[in-house]
Amino acid sequence: MCQYGSRLMMLHLHDNNGYITGAGEEDQYLLPLDGTIDWKETMRGIYNAGYRGAVALEVTNLGYERLNAGEFLQIAYERAKRLEKLYNGVR
């Protein structure tokens, strides 16, 4: 990521379970910290790339159907704050 860090304009983040089937199932759009991505290392990479812009979560409620919209958004917000804490902890 550092190679192109100066060219980043925006980021959207989501988690997944790290498998590749070739059937378009790789992007699961899970909430961060629900899959297999190493978020501490990922946030360190984003920081070291020099990115200081906005970040959006690109998630769906698939797999979270038991939650109502408010509950899902509350958890998404909490996860975003945890990612922010990891990012700020790199400094």
Distance in angstroms (rounded) separating the CA atoms of residues 80 and 26? 21
Mean pLDDT of the chain: 90
Residue percentage of the chain with pLDDT more than 70: 91
Q: What is the mean pLDDT of residues 37-66?
A: 93
Q: Looking at residue 67, what is its pLDDT? A: 97
Q: Looking at residue 6, what is its pLDDT? A: 78
pLDDT digits (tens, 9 = 90+) for 13-35: 999 988 776 666 667 899 999 99
Quote the domain boundaries for residue 80: 2-88
